């Protein structure tokens, strides 16, 4: 097998590590996920993380978006968007981005990079929309809206808040839309 075969295997191994890491970081968070867990999930030697990513922190950051190419959150109060977020978190767990929203990292460099990437992915578009509409405190409003939706989705999925966890999905979506809508009024 030539270098092309090795290259494809390398690309596949890297992709498998990234997918396993995204899933585990999303379920457990950065601190509770080990390289051994990631390697096991990917079906490869955990030592390959160093080869492809350098270390656990770099692999974690690779699971976070690096730009603002994600969906524009200007529609964060749209009921279909809310329902999609709540269902996705219930089905798949919080995901690395949501973990970055609600979790603090011990490593200040990881924290700063995660905060920057979350900001680009989740709040900047909404903040710009609020600023253009003449809303006061657009950055704060954007971040509160993101935190509110994140908290509601996490609370419903966790089941700790019994009424939230068992309430009719349409009722939760409607209340969440009202909350977010009030935050986004100019």
| Domain ranges, residue 17 | 3-62
Residues of the chain with pLDDT under 70: 1-8, 66-74
Q: What integer pLDDT is reported at residue 41 of this predicted model?
A: 93
Q: What integer pLDDT is reported at residue 66 of this predicted model?
A: 67
Answer yes or no: do 119 and 153 share one domain.
yes
Answer yes or no: do 90 and 13 share one domain.
no
Asked if residue 15 belongs to a domain, the reply is: yes
Answer yes or no: do 57 and 118 share one domain.
no
Q: What integer pLDDT is reported at residue 36 of this predicted model?
A: 93
DSSP state string for 72-116: -GGGTT-HHHHHHHHHHHHHH-SHHHHHHHH---SSHHHHHHHHH
Q: What integer pLDDT is reported at residue 67 of this predicted model?
A: 61
CATH number at residue 40: 1.10.10.60
Q: What integer pLDDT is reported at residue 155 of this predicted model?
A: 92
């Amino acid at each position: 097998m030539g270098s092309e075969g090795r290259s494809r295997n390398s690309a596949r191994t890297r992709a498998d590590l990234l997918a396993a890491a995204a899933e585990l970081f999303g379920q457990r968070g950065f601190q509770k996920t080990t390289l051994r867990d990631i390697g096991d999930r990917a079906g490869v030697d955990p030592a390959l993380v160093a080869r492809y990513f350098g270390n656990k922190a770099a692999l974690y950051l690779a699971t976070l978006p690096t730009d603002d190419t994600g969906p524009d959150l200007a529609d964060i109060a749209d009921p279909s968007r809310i329902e999609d977020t709540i269902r996705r978190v219930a089905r798949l767990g919080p995901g690395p981005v949501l973990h970055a929203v609600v979790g603090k990292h011990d490593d200040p460099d990881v924290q700063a990079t995660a905060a920057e990437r979350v900001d680009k992915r989740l709040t900047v578009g909404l903040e710009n929309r609020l600023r253009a509409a003449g809303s006061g405190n657009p950055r704060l409003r954007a971040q509160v809206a993101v935190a509110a939706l994140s908290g509601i989705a996490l609370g419903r999925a966790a089941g700790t808040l019994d009424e939230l966890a068992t309430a009719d999905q349409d009722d939760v979506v409607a209340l969440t839309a009202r909350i977010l809508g009030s935050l986004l009024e100019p």
